[in-house]
Amino acid sequence: MNLSMKWLSDFVKIDAEPKKFCYDLTMTGSKVEGYEIEGENIKNVVVGKILSVTPHENSDHLVVCQVDVGSGEPLQIVTGASNVNAGDLVPVALDGSDLPGGVHIKKGKLRGVESCGMLCSLGELGLTKHDFPYAIEDGIFILQEDCKPGDDIHDAIGLNDVSVEFEITSNRPDCLSVIGLAREAAATYALPFEEPKPEYNGVPGNISDSLGVVIENDALCKRYIGGMVKNVKIGPSPRWIRERLRASGLRPINNLVDITNYVMLEYGQPMHAFDARFIVGNEIHVRNAKEGETITTLDGTVRELSPEMLVIADTEKPVAVAGVMGGEYSGIMDDTVDVIFESACFDGASVRRTAKKLGMRTDSSSRFEKGLDPEGCMPAIIRALQLVELLGCGEPLNTVLDCGQKRHEKKTVDFDPGWINSFLGTEISRDEMVTYLERIGFDVVLNKVRIPSFRIDIEGEADVAEEVARFYGYNSIPCSELKGVANAKLSPAQNMQRKLESVCTALGLYEIETFSFISPKYYDKINLPADSKLRESVTIKNPLGEDTSVMRTTVLPSMCEVLSRNYNLRTPEAALFELGTEYLPTSPDKLPNEPARLSIGLYGGGADFYTVKGMVEEIFGAIGIEPEYYAPEGDCAFDELSMFHPGRVAVAEYNGRQVAIFGEMHPAVAETYGIGTRAYCAKINVEELIGEQIPEKTYKPLPKYPAATRDVSMICADDIPVAKLEKLIKTAVGPVLEKVKLFDVYRGEQIAGDKKSVAFSIVMRSADGTLTDAQADAAMKRVKKALSELGAELRS
């Protein structure tokens, strides 16, 4: 809402400078976004009178004017325009003047003839023909204003208003009007304010003789008032109306249309004007649109209507979309004779739905959708008819047609100053509260407060408390510490999250944040099987684009995207993690599960399969669990298996559940992502671990007796996993085993192709005494026997 300060001064006299005014209104709840001083960028431009026009000695299309600018000698100014004649009043940009667009005018010579300034066109002053309909666009602006040579141009053409831009919240449609803001401004400064009471005389005549109104849907139209103006004279509005519309951001059109806009801005009540010639049957029907009906709206677009939309119709067809926009056919034209004014109250939700469906939000619809006061209809139409009379542009009938709800009970709300103070934490006296409330039209009677009808937002005591608080001053409310002791702690999930973050950063991983919605194509990019359940995503009905249209069922594609982006930015190495969420559908009308996941992505920096495995091991170690790692063979719980190198992927199993998958990215997937090096990923199902009963750590006494260490090396079949050998050794050694450590794996020369050489170091220790050689040797004998049974050939 752009407010003209000149207009405001019709209702309340404000002394404050614009900046102060904006601040003060903001602090009482009418937020100001900014303000603009009209013509601020025009300096040193005055009214001049053309004394003579003579030909230019060196040019056919330039002329030389002598111009009286009110002081001293006349100025000589050269111009290229052909529409100036002696006697004309024109805007003159003097030597050293400024014009919009950063133009600076200085004295100079044009084709050898001195020119002491410039005669200005509308455009050069930042104006258009809409602002001054009598002027021409391509020529000098010949002034038809009441002014004399030397007058400052701002005053001469009324370019001296201040326009303040308010951001009005949706609960205050009453403030989308000059009067509403005047009321707020007066209350802010404790200035007197009187509700305007428009009146007009009109020409005698019963409107019912020439117009009928039928409200067919009174749920969506609470009130409809029709007014009639006979014998209109269509023409431009007077300057003051045009100025005010311009300062409010609206384009002047013609006097009758301008009046409807003027009243909407002044009273906040949208108005419409119909050409009575085109209302077939002289009857207005407020009804729902019929299936298949269309209307060409004022903007020239054909709109398809649907039955839930409310329309204004004559006996044959819709002539306006109620509260949104009028029809082109029944609009005001230059030859219009009789005009019907509409001032109505339509249901906000219905207007909002209709405007949204038609994809047109207008000044009218944006007011209606917030909910307007049915009592606002009458003053608005009276004001419109008053303006017609004032402008002398037609003969308003002295009767109007008022249909629908005329009166309703004034809302009252309990008024308890004690409760208000206890709610705000203040000590404001009852009298002070009453003063604040009365300034904005509230009426306090004993322990009740009567709410003016235009305040649709006030429903209860808390609303009244806010009215008191905003005029008392939000920043005058004291500070008061919360009382009572509260015991706060992190939940198990948050503790897990923080632990994982600290482990991951200690492992050198950088945290990333990715979007939770992805493109369904991402599932193809990670080579997910066509029948994978992970392809069934929660799908957004109205996405911004396909790229962000489904909620991810796996966090890994997001990680791949980030690895790819960094690789393509030529970052030589990357080590990343994300604590993200997956969205796994349950049933169509139920919410999905949102399990927490940890993903890891690596490339470069010497990373290999065992780097990512080592990280996964460290993470599980930090959580306090020891899963089993193995290569998945047809028993993989992760459909993402197919994005990994088939020979370089492992899962981690804990308590009978696969809780992690990790490995090298499949070369084909890496190629899809444009990653030209080996990359590694992991996904850990964090959510499933949060609930696990992870045993508390307990202290084990430090060893008292020395350990015995023995090495064992063997040649065995290449396809025996090292983990299997290790497990076998552990079992064979028994309780004295402290640690089995792999120290060599070798394939190559001197070893048959299907074999490998493996060597372990075995540390044994007893808690009861020094382990004897005999005990250690006996254990080794068991180890060797077990290994031999597996087919391993032991080396000495």
CA–CA separation, 128 and 140 (whole Å): 12
Query: Does 551 contact another protein by CB under 8 A?
Result: yes
Q: What is the closest distance, in whole angstroms, from the C-beta atom of residue 571 to another protein in the complex?
A: 5
Task: Check if the beta carbon of residue 603 is closer than 8 Å to that of residue 677.
Answer: yes
Task: Check if the beta carbon of residue 680 is closer than 8 Å to that of residue 644.
Answer: no
DSSP secondary structure letter of residue 747 = -
Stretch that binds another protein, among 79-87, 432-440, 500-508, 707-715 (CB under 8 A): 500-508
Query: Does 188 contact another protein by CB under 8 A?
Result: no
Indicate the residue among 535 and 782 with the shorter CB distance to another protein. Answer: 535
Indicate the residue among 188 and 261 with the shorter CB distance to another protein. Answer: 188
Task: Check if the beta carbon of residue 393 is closer than 8 Å to that of residue 200.
Answer: no
> What count of other Cβ atoms lies within 10 Å of the Cβ of residue 90?
25
Indicate the residue among 102 and 478 with the shorter CB distance to another protein. Answer: 478
By CB under 8 A, name the one of 418, 478, 735, 753 that touches another protein. Answer: 478
Q: What is the closest distance, in whole angstroms, from the C-beta atom of residue 8 to another protein in the complex?
A: 20
Query: Does 513 contact another protein by CB under 8 A?
Result: yes
By CB under 8 A, name the one of 565, 704, 741, 747 that touches another protein. Answer: 565
Query: Does 422 contact another protein by CB under 8 A?
Result: yes
Task: Check if the beta carbon of residue 679 is closer than 8 Å to that of residue 666.
Answer: no
DSSP string covering 684-715: E-HHHHHTS-PPPP---PPP-S--EEEEEEEE
By CB under 8 A, name the one of 178, 310, 562, 598 that touches another protein. Answer: 562
Indicate the residue among 34 and 706 with the shorter CB distance to another protein. Answer: 34
Task: Note the Cα 285 to chain centre separation in Å.
Answer: 38
Residue carrying structure tokens 């069934």:
536
By CB under 8 A, name the one of 302, 445, 486, 702 that touches another protein. Answer: 486
Which are the contacts of 90, defined by CB distance < 8 A and separation ≥ 6?
47, 48, 49, 50, 67, 84, 119, 120, 140, 141, 142, 143
Query: Does 343 contact another protein by CB under 8 A?
Result: no
Interface of this chain with another protein, residues 347 to 406, rule: CB under 8 A: 348-350, 352-353, 369-370
Interface of this chain with another protein, residues 710 to 739, rule: CB under 8 A: none
Q: What is the closest distance, in whole angstroms, from the C-beta atom of residue 27 to another protein in the complex?
A: 6
CA–CA separation, 601 and 361 (whole Å): 47
By CB under 8 A, name the one of 302, 485, 702, 774 that touches another protein. Answer: 485
Query: Does 511 contact another protein by CB under 8 A?
Result: yes
Sign for the pseudo-dihedral over CA of 751, 756, 761, 767: negative
By CB under 8 A, name the one of 154, 172, 242, 303 that touches another protein. Answer: 172
Indicate the residue among 462 and 723 with the shorter CB distance to another protein. Answer: 462
Query: Does 507 contact another protein by CB under 8 A?
Result: yes
Query: Does 219 contact another protein by CB under 8 A?
Result: no
DSSP secondary structure letter of residue 397 = B
By CB under 8 A, name the one of 514, 527, 713, 761 that touches another protein. Answer: 514
CA–CA separation, 326 and 223 (whole Å): 18
Q: What is the closest distance, in whole angstroms, from the C-beta atom of residue 218 to another protein in the complex?
A: 18
By CB under 8 A, name the one of 134, 474, 610, 705 that touches another protein. Answer: 474
By CB under 8 A, name the one of 569, 699, 735, 773 that touches another protein. Answer: 569
Q: What is the closest distance, in whole angstroms, from the C-beta atom of residue 673 to another protein in the complex?
A: 14
Query: Does 504 contact another protein by CB under 8 A?
Result: yes
Q: What is the closest distance, in whole angstroms, from the C-beta atom of residue 561 to another protein in the complex?
A: 9
Task: Note the Cα 147 to chain centre separation in Å.
Answer: 48
Indicate the residue among 533 and 727 with the shorter CB distance to another protein. Answer: 533
Task: Check if the beta carbon of residue 417 is closer than 8 Å to that of residue 448.
Answer: no
Closest CA to 310 of 340, 265, 345: 345
User: For residue 101, which amino acid is it?
Assistant: G
Q: What is the closest distance, in whole angstroms, from the C-beta atom of residue 28 to another protein in the complex?
A: 7
Q: Count how many Cα atoms sit within 13 Å of the Cα of residue 483 in the half-sphere of its side chain.
A: 1
Residue 124's φ and ψ, nearest 5 degrees, are: -65, -20
CA–CA separation, 99 and 117 (whole Å): 12
Q: What is the closest distance, in whole angstroms, from the C-beta atom of residue 324 to another protein in the complex?
A: 15
By CB under 8 A, name the one of 470, 552, 756, 765 that touches another protein. Answer: 470
DSSP string covering 113-133: EEE-EEE--TGGGT--TTT-T
Task: Check if the beta carbon of residue 198 is closer than 8 Å to that of residue 376.
Answer: no
Site string for another protein, 736-775 (x = CB under 8 A): ----------------------------------------
Secondary structure of residue 89 in the 3-state scheme: strand
CA–CA separation, 709 and 122 (whole Å): 100
CA–CA separation, 795 and 480 (whole Å): 80
Residue carrying structure tokens 């994300």:
578
Query: Does 543 contact another protein by CB under 8 A?
Result: yes
Q: What is the closest distance, in whole angstroms, from the C-beta atom of residue 512 to another protein in the complex?
A: 4
Q: What is the closest distance, in whole angstroms, from the C-beta atom of residue 456 to another protein in the complex?
A: 12
Interface of this chain with another protein, residues 572 to 591, rule: CB under 8 A: 574-577, 581, 583, 588-589, 591
Stretch that binds another protein, among 199-207, 482-490, 617-625, 641-649 (CB under 8 A): 482-490
Indicate the residue among 255 and 554 with the shorter CB distance to another protein. Answer: 554
Which are the contacts of 705, defined by CB distance < 8 A and separation ≥ 6?
765, 766, 767, 768, 769, 770, 771
CA–CA separation, 508 and 512 (whole Å): 13
Q: What is the closest distance, in whole angstroms, from the C-beta atom of residue 40 to another protein in the complex?
A: 15
Indicate the residue among 57 and 594 with the shorter CB distance to another protein. Answer: 594
By CB under 8 A, name the one of 390, 493, 742, 767 that touches another protein. Answer: 493
Please list the residues that pair with 560 across neighbouring strands: none
> What count of other Cβ atoms lies within 10 Å of the Cβ of residue 76?
16
Closest CA to 394 of 333, 334, 337, 331: 337
By CB under 8 A, name the one of 466, 688, 718, 726 that touches another protein. Answer: 466
By CB under 8 A, name the one of 240, 515, 705, 743 that touches another protein. Answer: 515
Q: What is the closest distance, in whole angstroms, from the C-beta atom of residue 513 to another protein in the complex?
A: 5
Query: Does 484 contact another protein by CB under 8 A?
Result: yes
CA–CA separation, 638 and 660 (whole Å): 8
Site string for another protein, 16-55 (x = CB under 8 A): ----------xxxx-x--x---------------------
CA–CA separation, 255 and 237 (whole Å): 4
Query: With CB under 8 A, what is the number of residues at the site for another protein?
Result: 91
Q: What is the closest distance, in whole angstroms, from the C-beta atom of residue 293 to another protein in the complex?
A: 22
Question: Which tokens hold the place of 562?
Answer: 């980030």
Which are the contacts of 456, defined by CB distance < 8 A and separation ≥ 6?
171, 173, 174, 370, 371, 372, 373
Stretch that binds another protein, among 94-102, 408-416, 422-430, 774-782 (CB under 8 A): 422-430
Query: Does 490 contact another protein by CB under 8 A?
Result: yes
Query: Does 170 contact another protein by CB under 8 A?
Result: yes
Stretch that binds another protein, among 137-145, 223-231, 537-545, 620-628 (CB under 8 A): 537-545
What is each CA distance from 373 to 221, 265, 437, 467, 482, in whole angstroms? 12, 15, 19, 19, 40
Q: What is the closest distance, in whole angstroms, from the C-beta atom of residue 264 to another protein in the complex?
A: 18
Within 25-110, strands assigned E span 31-37, 43-56, 59-68, 75-79, 89-99, 103-105, 108-110
Query: Does 538 contact another protein by CB under 8 A?
Result: yes
Indicate the residue among 183 and 470 with the shorter CB distance to another protein. Answer: 470
Indicate the residue among 488 and 702 with the shorter CB distance to another protein. Answer: 488
